[in-house]
Structure 1
Amino acid sequence: MCLSFALFKLLCLRYAGYSLPQKAHENAWKLIRNGLLSHEDGYKRAFRVVEVELTLLFDFFYTKYGIIFHPGWLTTKLMELMGITIGIWAMRSLLKDHHRDNSNCNCLLTTMLNGLSGDIFITGLIITSFIIMELIQYFFLSFSEWAKMILICQKYVQKKSWQETAHIESIIRAICGVWLLKPWEQKLHQYSFLDSYFYKPYGLLKNRIMAAFIDQTRDGQRQSPPIQLSEEVKQAVFHALKLNNGTNLENGHASLRRNNESKKLLWACRLETET
């Protein structure tokens, strides 16, 4: 978890356009080669590290976890929990005395069959929905990769008392053993040009109105069903990385040289994109 978070921070620097000194690249490559890739079954751990790294990156771009888990987040969340508790108490007090005196009211449209006031019922329904959504958010926050990272890197590692308490270790182990969302899921999305060439999207989905709600699919742009990344592919990537002794990837040059295809296909590696 700590290693994935460190690599995630380096990846964020790359996305922001910052460059690292050459020494940093060399140290990172030594860590990968002498650590993750040092054992024969190291590909399993390497892909787990990458998976957690991509999960953190996904949360960084598409969720607010990076902001929520700022210093002092626990105090803020406890205050929110107190607000939810007060909301539950207020709702119970409101619904407890739900029978309204309708003796001076000739309009019964606001009174339901069981005597419950309609406005109180709607208010209670809204408050209940809000409380349920907040509790669901707390649940996902508690088992997110960011919560695991803070528990391990900032709490457990730095506090000696936590390391000597079996109860706390059991709680952290239980939290880290739960994976709720996997943006990658170790699947490969595919596109076959020949299979999708004659594809035309439905007219009801491809128009200006639907463009405001969903991504528009163009003619011939149909994605094939994703497939699970096999162990053989993982091992092949693992061995290819082990054969690379340098710190820089060569954009396919080394693979072509090993397979004696440099003369035929090396020109493609010099273009701007791999496509």
Structure 2
Amino acid sequence: MPSYSSDLTLAARLADAADAITTARFRALDLTVRSKPDRTPVTDADTAVEDAIRALLAEERPDDAIAGEERGGSAWSSGRTWILDPIDGTKNFLRGVPVWATLIALVEDGTPVVGMVSAPLLGRRWWASSGEGAWLRDATGERRISVSGVAGLSDAYLSTTHLGSWTEYHSREAYLALTDACWETRAFGDFWHHCLVAEGAIDLAAEAIVNPWDVAPMQVLVTEAGGRFSDLSGRETFDGGSALSSNGLLHDAALSTLHRN
């Protein structure tokens, strides 16, 4: 298996550049906000981060393709492609809620091989690369992380997204069945709940609708931590339009619960 250490080092540099921009623009009084065609917000910080990362990649990896939420690109089925979400959690960012992150993934022939998630206002950064484990740096230091050992849904801690997205994009009944089957349910949302699965802090994270840039780094992060990642149909892919992260032990049971409704 190839080593992706140099790519991971570069991803950390990209995250550093992103953090410098986002922390400077967070709660800025002159922050500009507009709506994209899908009615989701984008700030000047989103575009500035993506442009900065693209410029660094053009210097360091000129032969690699790039796909980003704000500047486009979607060809990641072959070759090497960097997939970028400059600010995941833009609604939080523009409202002054400190739960947001820059997401960076390197996808090789359609499979994520490097993932980097940097949440500077949380003081946390997660990363992983194929065959080299999943890692976290926070206020206590740097450590390798792994998923939980919870084996039954009745003991599981689930994080999911708001009911309206399930009603529109998947199934209200499936949402209720899964939440009812689990011990505890919260809605950490966005990048954070998948990272918490990788840490072993929670056991399941389910989303009825996602974009590829929302979860590309999560696939390699969760699997390198010993868990499983798929869409809600069970396909192990980051571009299926939905997402389920688990500790692995609960994955089939969660899918079965969702499919019955």
Q: TM-score range by the shorter chain?
A: under 0.3
Give TM-score, length-normalised by structure 2: 0.25
Relative to its length, the structure with more strand (as a share) is 2
Structure having the larger proportion of residues in helix = 1
Q: Which has the larger radius of gyration?
A: 1
